[in-house]
Amino acid sequence: MSTLLIASASFVGFILAYHTYGRWLARKIFGLDEYAIVPSQELWDDIDYVPTKREVVFGHHFTSIAGTGPIVGPAIAVFWGWLPALLWVVLGSIFIGAVHDFGALVISMRNRGQTVGDIAGRMITPRAKILFLLVLFMSLTIVLAIFGLVIAIIFQLYPESVLSVWVEIPLAVGIGFWIKRKGKDLLIPSLIALGIMYLAMYLGAYFLPIRLVGVVSNPVVAWTLILFAYCFVASTLPVWTLLQPRDYINSHELILALGLLLVGLVIAGISGQANLLQAAPAIASDVPVDAPPIMPFLFITIACGAISGFHCLVSSGTSSKQISSEGDAQYVGYGAMLLEGGLAVTVILACCAGIGMGLFDRKPEGRTYTYIERTNPETGRQIQGREAWLARYSSQIKQTADGKTTGGWKNHNLGQKVSAFIDGGGNFLSIIGIPRKMAIAIMAVLVASFAATTLDSATRLQRYVIQELGNTCYLTPLTNRFVATAVALILGGIVAMMPGPAGAGSGGMILWPLFGATNQLLAGLAFMVVVFYLIRRNKPIWFAALPMVVMMVLPAWAMLHNMFNFETGWLANQKYYLVVFGIGIQVLQIWMMIEGLIALRTAKGNYPELPPIAEASG
């Protein structure tokens, strides 16, 4: 029952926040005007700027900001216990993450759909624009490398997910062209496409699991290259051909999967089969010594589920160019972040109460497999409850000579993090009568679809950043969308193909330790742009200034700990490349703050108007 009560309280809190705090921001602070001219109408080009119904924009926005972030982050953070993770997700989503996403969206809409990095040049100083774009460029390069790896790992671990993920692409393109030519509504075709995807899940689980093992020497590398080739095409196509219909389908996929999870959670909670209090510690007392301290790393580990700097790129990079009315901004910007918080809450419950319902091992059966209960060899009973959670999260913990525990944090690899949610969610689905094999397929496709959405959205966003850098630095070839996209993917591919912790194709993991702090620092810098926008408009700033300080201090603290800790720091372990990158990012942050202090003297009430469109584009 505790599992059900916590889930209910969290979702009720999100709904109340949307209709109170979110409405206050929309009406009193940003003064949304549903009759104002928006970028999608003013600059309509049928490629990036396309006026779109708010439900479709919501689908794109939500699936782009979600990805695997609210899945991987909470799945790691429950290592410290479920209570701190839950509190940060709920409170962070309402008071920090949703404000960040909403603010970036509105400001971009009122600046012709420019990205936050471009807007920083007008709201703060021209130098701030270059600094911001450099932070964006480094962050997105790592995102491209790591998300390609995430999807490749899912395809390798869960071959039943491959067919459905790739079937969705031609379905989305077909729907996009049909809607464009016929002018019909997108809802019915997307629901039909979702039904076909579920059929593909069934075929993939029972008859057609697609494996590259034995076909190529390194399946992860092969999948990554295939995904990058897809991204080049997907991110250069007009948004209506693939991005909008695919993300709309994915949003329905999430709603259906989340609904099934919640039904399973309700039944499991009422019946007592899922008991959060007994399955996992509220606050873990036996954290391995090699794990970083909960403060500040909880707030860096859980990013997308509470706040993520990447979201400001989606808000100002793609969503602001598609919204057809300012009145839709609260629904898209504030509402999507709250739904992502709801997803993160579900992940926490799946990784704790769901895993506590029991562990299962795969047993091969020809081309496919079945699931069997994992039992304790000493008792012969199925591993359930706290024992199951420990088996998932602490199976590789070892005792050091002085009696301390070590090894659990470092050995808890990417596949384990994703599998914790897929397996725990599969337990919730199986309790409502869905066969385990199909339940696992549903969860695996959900994760892979979200990751694929984020991957090609990040490619499109990196293209915008490179084009803006090209314009600013007078590098004309980089302003071409095909050249900029190729540069983005080549650089991301170079990082991805470097030999990393998991061998060839896992190069993104080398720089991944930088991403958590850099991503959250990006959120702090985006808040700085929001604050300057409000100052120049003579608006209150406290609700954005406080999160700005938090999201600048915590990432800097985490970065300094990572670099200079005497035992686990990068410098102590001779990871000099990470130290160099870390120092560079810290210098950019400090420089950006100095630029802000310089601009603050003359900012109040001094709002720079946009240049004429002809001049801006020339």
Summarize pLDDT for 68-79 with one digit per residue, the tens: 778 888 888 888
Least confident of 130-134, 312-316, 498-502, 539-543: 498-502
Decide: 539 and 29 in contact? Cβ < 8 Å: yes
Report the chain's mean pLDDT, rounded to a whole number: 87
Superfamily classification of domain 2-321+329-370+408-617: Amino acid/polyamine transporter I (1.20.1740.10)
Rounded CA-CA distance 43/39 in Å is 6
Is the pLDDT at 397 greater than 70? The verdict is no
Element (H, E) at 436: helix 436-472
pLDDT digits 0-9 by tens, 267-315: 888 888 888 888 888 998 777 666 788 999 999 989 888 999 989 989 9
pLDDT at residue 404, as a whole number: 56
For the stretch 17-35, pLDDT in tens is 999 999 999 999 999 999 9
Confidence band, pLDDT 50/70/90 cuts, at residue 616:
very low
pLDDT, position 497: 81
Domain limits, the chain:
2-321+329-370+408-617
Q: State the pLDDT confidence band at 348, using cuts at 50, 70 and 90.
A: very high
615 band by pLDDT with thresholds 50, 70 and 90: very low
Whether 57 shows a pLDDT value over 70: the answer reads: yes
Per residue, the 3-state secondary structure of 4-20, as one string, reads HHHHHHHHHHHHHHHHH
Cβ-based neighbours of 340, under 8 Å, separated by 6 or more: 62, 65, 66, 70, 93, 97, 304, 305
Assess whether pLDDT exceeds 80 at residue 321.
yes
pLDDT value of position 588: 87
Instruction: For 158-209, write each residue's pLDDT tens digit.
Output: 899 999 999 999 999 999 888 888 777 788 899 999 999 999 999 999 988 8
| Least confident interval from 9-23, 46-60, 149-163 | 149-163
Between 174 and 504, the more confident residue is: 174
**How does pLDDT run across 543-602, given as a tens digit for each residue?**
999 999 999 999 999 999 999 988 888 899 888 888 988 898 889 889 999 999 999 988
Does the pLDDT at position 398 exceed 80? no
Q: How far is CA 166 from CA 173, 197, 211, 230, 543, in A?
A: 12, 9, 13, 10, 43
Lookup result for tokens 């970065």: 559
Q: What is the reported pLDDT for 618?
A: 34
Cα gap 5→312, rounded to integer Å: 32
Predicted confidence at residue 25, as pLDDT, reads 97
Q: Which amino acid is at 351?
A: C
Paired tokens of 130: 């270059």
- Give me the half-sphere count of Cα atoms (radius 13 Å) on the Cβ side of residue 329: 34
Q: Which phi-psi region, left, alpha or beta, contains residue 385 (left: φ > 0; alpha: ψ -120 to 50)?
A: left
Terminal Cα-to-Cα distance of the chain (whole angstroms): 62
Residue 84 has pLDDT above 90, yes or no: yes
pLDDT, residue 617, reads 41
Question: What sections of 473-575 are H helices per DSSP?
Answer: 481-497, 508-536, 542-564
User: For residue 66, what pLDDT band results from cuts at 50, 70 and 90?
Assistant: confident
For β-strands 368-373 and 360-365, DSSP reports them as: antiparallel
pLDDT confidence of residue 566: 86
Decide which of 303 and 397 is more confident: 303
Virtual CA dihedral for 60, 62, 66, 70, nearest 10 degrees? -170
As a whole number, mean pLDDT of residues 360-365 equals: 80
Residue 215 has pLDDT above 80, yes or no: no
pTM, two decimal places: 0.89
